[in-house]
Chain A
Amino acid sequence: MFEPSDFNDGDRDQQDSSSSSELDFSMVLASSVHDMKNSLGMLLNSLEEMIAAAAPSDKQQNKHFSTLQYEASRIHSELIQLLNIYRLQQKKLPFNLDENYVYDTFEDQVARNDVLFKTKSIELTIDCDQDLAWFYDNELIGNVVHNVLINAARYAKTKVNLVAKVKDEQLIISIEDDGDGFPEFMIDAVLEAHQNKAATESTQLGLFFAKNIALFHRKGESKGDIALANGGSLGGGVFAISLP
């Protein structure tokens, strides 16, 4: 009969008055990250238009363009990631589970990074059944793939391959490159994160985010996960995310 949860009004008022007097630094940071991200988005747009209007005439110029494109994309995606982590922490990261075609998700991310991979002269291929459909949040998984692609653009020599297959009732998305592979400590850090939660903090921000996004995806008892490895079909680094 007596339900304390019915009576939060007074508590709420108190919270309001105390928080308004303090400056919430993480919120200030988040809103300025948001601004920076938008500015950078405009910059990237202009850059694409510029490259389309005046194609690079020599190798040197091409290299400058690709550096500009790569660095700006990298900061842009990193800022998106920061914002998402902020939302994650505030428990405000929206999650929309739906059926998606994996090929479409791949194609979106390939198109998003079209200019980057062209200026870097890296061949980006998709190895996925056109009719493969799976349940996941398209935006969040798309962002994870996007981040990994940008990273791969830096370390790959000539090729990056996006692979999707189903194994043991899990969708495995792998991004393979022909670079020198991940250093051992990073592979270990991701592995250790299985047992020890604190280990996630020593891995990169991107991996932390990817891991959390993977964990959002659940089906019954099973959860999503991420893994790093070396080898794959291209002999370089392999990032894999598994989704139940």
Chain B
Amino acid sequence: MSNFPYADLNVLIADDFNSFRSTLSKIMYEMGFRDIDSVASGEAAYSFCKKNHYDLILCDYNLGQGKNGQQLLEELRVNELLKPQDIFILLSAEASRNVVMSAYDCEPDAYLTKPVTTKVIHQRLSRLLNKRNTMLSIYDSIQLDDTDNTIALLTEEIKQNSRYSMDCQKLLAEVYMDQKQFDKAEKLYRSVLEVRALDWAQVGLAKVKLEQGDYVTAVKWLNDIVKANPSCMKAYDALTVALSALEDQERLQKTLEQAVEISPMSIGRQVTLAKTALENGDAEVAAHAYRKTIKYGVNSCHDTAENQISFAKSVARLHDSDPAKADGFNKEAIRVLAELDDKAEVEPDLKITSQLIESQLWALQGNKKRANELMDIVKDSIEQGATVSIDIEIEIVNAQLASKDYVAAHEKLQTMVEVYKDNQAALEKIDPLLSEPVSEHGKKVLAKINKKGIDAYKAQKYDAAMKYFIRVQKRFPRYLGIKLNLAQTIIGKMKNDGVEDEYVHQCLSIFENVKRNIRSNDNQYMRFHQLQGMLSSLTSGREG
């Protein structure tokens, strides 16, 4: 048996080319492996891994029609089908290791670029297996959750300054972080950084600050890291956490936009971007991001109905701010929803949400008949006892608004504000539909940005003021006060810099919108009239 040191290790080979599969099998056999399975697709590989445990997986990146090698790896990791000591090798002709790796969230143990020679595989495998042998007791200890022992073993390995001491330092710091021993983690990261400015240690140190609640320092450091190395995805991820904690929605969106530009295939980041953009009222960015989650999510473990519905939802919202752009997405959104409708496994409440959004999309295209049909289906489901969550209620209001059923929408909103008066999370969701936010958080955000806008206006920084007001308007599209603030700023700018047709049009369209929605008893009514007067005297002055 000693001739076959690897005879008790199970090997799985996944490649869609028959010839490459047999070449790899032969190489494995020559190296001393005896249990070798091979499959032609990602799906087959996954089901093999569910049935058997493999110590070593050699997988091609491109596996033809179905899921690719990276998606397989992600799915295996998510479903915990890989042990820490298992070796996953990704082979590919697609691109260089760095490019592919930075594009995804999980890393294989090795990445080999095709064409690979027999010797390359031999060498790399022996190296990985040597490491596995040395580290086996550590991996076992990690798997048993025996933290004290893991720390002792790692410390010993580092003390001996072994070949894997750098890997062990990285692992040890992660264990400290998991155990919330932040001081120890910090000390370790700093000692690594004394030797060399390595990304993982820099990000680690920033994460320590993050865990300690020092978000501002964390953001500063992480920004420095991404500036020096724009492809350091882990830094973007930590930055996302820090900016969310600081509730800095604008920078959060910007950071995520940067991150997905570098790594478009990471579905997790696309979803976070889309959610953030939707919260910020930036439906266009949200629609693009959700569309990518659908595109890259095919065959992956991320292929969820929720992303599909959210895509259509973003398109419906986009109709509010930019109908022309929304039209470009309409067909696709309706198709996505129709596909969902055919799937039996979709949860009933998601199905209702999907029908409501489809109804909105038809109504916004002017097909009232189809919109009403869908509303009737929803009404039937609700009468038959389907649970109605806040999200569904909001989509009912949106559907009423899309069908221009303003009175019903208004009444429903009033009831909702009353019913959910003690539920801040629900109120925050209702805020964008109201003429003025009612949630504590919504009021706070509004006041904060609005103040910045007013300060800028007073300082006669009209361009800056306009941008602040446009930002609030995106978040609270039905808040009349902000629209008037924006109009006032534009008028101020024209008084200063001269009249421009574009600005005049912008003011007129704001007035148009306000006129439709304002009531004569509104406390903004007087101001509205004054502003209209100011604009007309400005423009008539020009003509005279």
Contacts and interface: CB of A to CB of B under 8 A. Distances in A.
Contact of B199 (A7, A42, A44, A97): A97
B120 A108 contact: yes
B300 interface: no
A36 B8 CA distance: 41
A180 B94 CA distance: 37
A111 B119 CA distance: 5
Contact of A107 (B123, B163, B229): B123
Contact of B229 (A1, A9, A41, A95): A95
Nearest to A218: B197
A139 interface: yes
A145 to B, nearest CB: 14
A139 B120 contact: no
Nearest to A84: B96
Interface residues on B, range: 35 or more
Interface string B105-142: 00000000111111110111001000000000000000
Contacts of B95: 34, 83
B231 A112 contact: no
Contacts of A80: 96
Interface stretch (A86-94, A186-194, A200-208, A221-229): A86-94
A38 B93 contact: yes
Nearest to A34: B95
A98 interface: yes
B502 to A, nearest CB: 13
A112 B196 CA distance: 30
A76 B250 CA distance: 44
Nearest to A38: B93
Nearest to A76: B115
Contacts of B231: 92-95
A80 B99 CA distance: 12
B48 to A, nearest CB: 25
A169 interface: no
Nearest to A104: B127
A229 B363 CA distance: 75
A236 to B, nearest CB: 25
A72 B116 CA distance: 14
Given A2-B456, A8-B254, A94 B99 contact: yes
B102 interface: yes
B230 A45 contact: no
A114 B123 CA distance: 12
A219 B250 contact: no
Given A97-B198, A98-B198, A1 B123 contact: no
B515 interface: no
Contacts of B455: 1
Contacts of A45: 20, 114-116
A115 B95 CA distance: 22
A101 interface: yes
A112 B93 contact: no
Contacts of B282: 9
Interface in A1-15: 1-2, 4, 6-9
Contacts of A1: 452, 455-456
A1 B96 CA distance: 43
Contacts of A6: 250-251, 467
Contacts, number: 96
Contacts of B196: 97, 99, 135, 219
A129 interface: no
Given A94-B99, A96-B199, A38 B94 contact: yes
Contacts of A78: none
Given A2-B464, A49-B23, A97-B199, A112 B96 contact: no
A52 B19 CA distance: 13
B124 A108 contact: yes
A9 to B, nearest CB: 8
Interface in A139-162: 139-140, 143
A164 to B, nearest CB: 17
Contacts of A38: 93-94
Contacts of A7: 464, 467
B319 to A, nearest CB: 17
B188 interface: no
A189 B385 CA distance: 81
A49 B19 contact: yes
Contacts of A101: 163
A34 B118 CA distance: 24
Nearest to A87: B99
A99 B166 CA distance: 7
A112 B254 contact: no
B123 A111 contact: yes
Contacts of A108: 120, 123-124
Nearest to B98: A94
A139 B117 contact: no
A45 to B, nearest CB: 4
B302 interface: no
A189 B464 CA distance: 51
A112 B99 contact: no
Given A6-B250, A38-B93, A92-B262, A44 B99 contact: no
Contacts of B20: 45
A87 B230 CA distance: 12
Interface string B441-483: 0000000000010011000010010010000000000000000
Contacts of A87: 99
B514 to A, nearest CB: 23
Contacts of A114: 117-120
A14 to B, nearest CB: 13
Given A92-B230, A94-B98, A135-B198, 20 more contacts: A1-B455, A1-B456, A4-B464, A34-B95, A38-B94, A41-B115, A48-B118, A49-B23, A80-B96, A83-B96, A96-B98, A96-B199, A97-B196, A97-B197, A107-B123, A110-B119, A111-B117, A114-B120, A131-B163, A135-B196
Interface of B: 19-20, 23, 93-99, 101-102, 113-120, 122-124, 127, 163, 166, 196-199, 229-231, 250-251, 254, 262, 282, 452, 455-456, 461, 464, 467
Interface of A: 1-2, 4, 6-9, 34, 37-38, 41-42, 44-45, 48-49, 52, 80, 83-84, 87, 91-99, 101, 104, 107-108, 110-112, 114-115, 131, 135, 137, 139-140, 143, 219
10 contacts: A2-B464, A45-B115, A92-B262, A99-B166, A108-B123, A111-B117, A111-B122, A139-B98, A140-B98, A219-B196
Shortest Cβ-Cβ A-B pairs, 5 listed:
A94-B231, A111-B119, A94-B98, A44-B115, A41-B93
